[in-house]
Structure 1
Amino acid sequence: MSSLKIIIVGGGLAGACLANGLIKNGVDVTVYERDPEKSDRGGYQIRLGQYSLDAFRLCLDQARVDAIEQKFGMSADTKSPYTAPSIYSTAFKPILDLGKLPTYSASTAIDRVVLRDFLVDPLKDHKRIKFGHNFTHYSIYRTQKDEEKVRVYFADGTTDSCDILVGADGSASKINKQVGLQNIIDISSHWVFVAKGPLPPGRLERLPKRLLSSPILVFHGGASLYYALYLPAETKKGTEDNVLFNYDQTEASFYWGLTIPKKHSVIQEPEKIADRLQFCLDYMKDWAPEYQTMLSVGSTDKDRVPVAMIPLRASEKPSEHWREELRSHPTGVSDGKGHPRVWLMGDSIHAMQPNRGMGGNQAMYDCVEMLPELLRLAAISQPQQAVSTEEVSRSVQIYEKKMLARSFTWVKKSGGTSVPDQNFNGLAGFVISTINALILPIIFYVFQGFRRAGK
């Protein structure tokens, strides 16, 4: 094992994936997770694309990658689990099938809890994750050999030390704030309501059949609705070749997220919303009845699905030289601001709005760009002499240059730090739906022909 020691704060998807890659390559790593091991925080649906698969194949063994892929959701009208959302009007009329756009990144659904278990279980097996440790702050100190290290502090009074601290602590990242980046913005203009629930056949049969093919997106007056199903394949296939019968009912789920502008409501404090589901239904009262059914599914059952509210955050792109700029300040070095031994990944540096479904994918692809640099440092680290801060600085610059260019392209595509005010009803919807029906199929097949010819 290399003498390089790494601490990752945050045992979510990206942090756990990176830790697996480090363990796979013999690097000493410990993950500190705020929540207890048996936390009841369920998590929601996530959609995975090529970015995530690249990270899995780099960080995990093939058997675990195969097991994850077996949990991907099914689509009713395609052999591939990869689909793209379709944009619908509030009248429940199709506007645009994003899957027909040749450059749109298709993805597949998986339950976030299922995926996290796949990533965290190896960490538990190797005793490399500690639960119930709430990070408070870090400090930079020098050893008796005059080597720089990072000391990490937790709310229970415990500490640990490392050569490199990786912040994977989400969009409310304390590490982002202490290192001085502070580029994550609270978008307070909108509320985000989310719900996820089990999907037995009785519920599935009440939903519009269109949802069996792909997720649905609606944009109207600054509001947006995203609705998707997760239908993993049944281990033992039934006799009927029909997704309505042959899916794993124990893990299947529906998920929806509704973003509403606060300016459309007389209520301005979320605690005053007595019934969140009814609030959402009332907001959509002039939409097609299919939407009322979609949001209400399961609401009259004994196990009524709760509706939660989550913060909406996004990030501003920092300068490539943000560390040097902070450390040039008189108090920068003493406060640990901009220090190269403190790295950031995922939502802790490039939080983005969820409408493109790319937040998780971009977070996990950070592993692809970060892991090689950490392995390079591990290779030159010696038991009698820790890797120098100059070498660490060189590696974090290489990682961040790639990561910032890639991830903030998706931050921008997802709307940046303001919610897009799109509306596909009326004339705009008619024009786009006409293009969708008549022109995009031709473009799609021509593009596919060029791709095949290029191979």
Structure 2
Amino acid sequence: MTLRIAVVGGGTGGLCLAHGLVRAGVEVAVYERSRTRTERLQGYRVHIDPHGAAALHECLPAEAWQRFLATTGESAHEFAFVTERLRELAVLREPPAADPSKAHHSVSRISLHQVLSAGLDGILWHDKEFVRYDLGPKAVTLHFADGTTADADLVIGADGANSRVRAQLRPEAHRVDTGIVTIVGKTPVSEAAARFTAGPVYVVAPPGCGMFTAPHLFPELALNDETAEIDPVHFDNTGSYVMWAYGARRLSASEETLRDSVLSLIRGWHPDLVRLVEATPHGTVSRLPILTSVPARPGIPGPVTLLGDAAHSMTPFRGIGANTALRDAQLLCRKLTSGIEPAVAVAQYEGEMRKYADKAVRTSARSAEQFVSESRLGRVVAKAMFRAMGAAQKLRR
């Protein structure tokens, strides 16, 4: 009997999985609530680490993999730790990987989505808002907001941090607000941003706050420019920019005053950091409350499972959320195409996924807490640790 798989959610992990299943000849349908392919195109850069790169390389057809590589920015091989006055604590450098499938990549979320959503005609269905599922004796029935239904033998909830599939499957698995808020913006590369184009910069700021910058640089225009005429500021995915994020607890500001609020908070920091924020267009600045999932007891594997943020929502700190979703897609694809019974494949996937995903959630949450730590002693220790790291690398060089 042919296994019918339904993926709820057309995000990074769900689309990567769909490509892998299609390549293996498995019948799959992806149901995405966005009305069109370009409706959800927004956001900032995303860091693809070697785990994510390996998953994309394994699941994507060769043409899509090359398209992904063509849309990535120039890879940075330098990570700096500095004070708010830009005094260097450490600069970590690593040589570029010869194999792109084992390398780090910087990619626009817009470009990544465009690459992943291409080549899935007749598989990726838009304007399909999932409402609920029913477990039947022979199939799982999906119900959508437009009144239609679809049947599948296995349903994979890849519908993000606010997953409706998870809410029905594991109602006890919820997210909590950490109390941390970040304000994020992107500054087009210019004289004001030039100092921050060598690679990511972690600002070890005064207690109670933190700042991070990361460049997204294109040697030339990216291949997919479908959104250039929609909103060149918010949706641009072909121009070079530096993304920055400022985080703290009890950070309140209206949408209209986000940039000015950050400027008032970093007054007295190095002028280059101030200029970076000042040069940021208002339309690119967003407020992002930081939430994380809480540990939940493993459920009994069945014909419905979860992937990515739906399974393990984590904070954006350390930049591992998208990579963990891609790792899920790679693992689940392997299990479902290995020839073992689907129920066994799902059980093995969930068992293995929990090990690395639970660790990623904890690591990410701990990094978020350290980013806004109010401990003066903690800041002193952190600076000493980074200085030691920098000295050790210089000695090795």
| TM-score, normalised by the number of residues in structure 1 | 0.75
| Residues 1:164 and 1:416: Cα distance change in structure 2 (over 3 Å) | farther
Instruction: Indicate which of 229, 233, 240 corresponds to 2:219.
Output: 233
Q: Secondary structure at the match of 2:42?
A: coil
Q: 1:4 to 1:131 in 2, by over 3 A?
A: same
> Counterpart in 1 of 2:197?
212
SS at match of 2:136: strand
1:343 and 2:319 matched: no
Mapped partners of 2:143, 2:329: distance in 1: 24
Residues 130-151 of structure 1 deviation map (CA, whole Å, 9 limit, x = unaligned) = 1122111111012xxxx3x111
- The residue type paired with residue 254 of structure 1 is V
Q: Which residue of 2 aligns with 1:414?
A: 364
Deviation at 1:155, TM superposition (A): 1.4
Q: Hey, what's the Cα distance between the residues in 1 that align with 2:290 and 2:237?
A: 31
- SS of the residue corresponding to residue 140 of structure 2 reads strand
Deviation at 1:249, TM superposition (A): 9.4
In structure 1, how many angstroms separate the alpha carbons of the residues matched to 2:291 and 2:379? Answer: 30
The answer for the alignment partner of 1:308 in structure 2 is: 286
Name the residue aligned to 1:441: 394
Where does the alignment leave 5 or more consecutive residues of structure 2 unmatched? Answer: 96-101, 223-235
The separation in 2 between residues aligned to 1:129 and 1:92, in whole angstroms, is: 47
- Separation in 1, partners of 2:284, 2:237: 20
Moved more, 403-412 or 220-229: 220-229
Tell me the SS of whatever aligns to 1:122: coil
CA distance in 1, matches of 2:78, 2:157: 31
Residue 395 (structure 1) aligned to one of 345, 350, 371: 345
> Following the alignment from structure 1 to structure 2, what is the Cα–Cα distance between the partners of residues 392 and 432?
48
Alignment match of 2:295 (pick from 293, 296, 317):
317
**1:183 counterpart residue number:** 173
1:48 correspondence with 2:33: no
Secondary structure of residue in 2 paired with 1:205: coil
Cα drift, residue 28 of structure 1: 1.1
Superposition deviation, residue 190 in structure 1: 1.7
1:278 lines up with 2:275 in the alignment = no
Is the contact made by 1:96 and 1:432 (CA closer than 8 Å) also made in structure 2? no
Q: 2:184 aligns with which of 183, 194, 198?
A: 194
Which residue is 2:334 aligned to? 372
Given the alignment, which residue of 105, 124, 137 partners 1:129? 124
Distance in 1, Cα, partners of 2:103 & 2:210: 20
Counterpart contact for 1:185–1:314, Cα < 8 Å: yes
**Equivalent position amino acid for 2:84 in 1:** T
> Is 2:318 the counterpart of 1:356?
yes
Q: Deviations over 1:243-286 (max 9, x none)?
A: xxxxx994323322222211xx5x5xx5x564111112112223
Larger radius of gyration: 1
SS at match of 1:35: coil
Which stretches in structure 1 are left out of the alignment for 5+ residues? 75-80, 237-247, 325-338, 381-390, 446-455
| SS at structure 1 position matched to 2:317 | helix
Cα distance in 2 for partners of 1:343, 1:226 equals 35
Whether the 8 Å CA contact 1:316–1:417 is kept in 2: the answer is no
- Aligned mate of 1:107, from 86, 104, 109: 104
Give the distance between the partners of 2:256 and 2:323, measured in 1 at CA. 35
Distance 1:434 1:229, change over 3 A: closer
Pick from 273, 295, 301 the counterpart of residue 291 of structure 1.
273
What is the TM-score when the length of structure 2 is the normalising length? Answer: 0.85
How much does 1:436 deviate?
Answer: 3.2
RMSD in angstroms over aligned alpha carbons?
2.8
Structure 1 residue 66 corresponds to structure 2 residue 48: no
- Cα distance in 1, alignment partners of residues 191 and 177 from structure 2: 36
- Per the alignment, residue 12 of structure 2 pairs with 13
Match of 1:55, as an amino acid?
A: A
Give the Cα separation in 1 of the matches to 2:10 and 2:65: 19
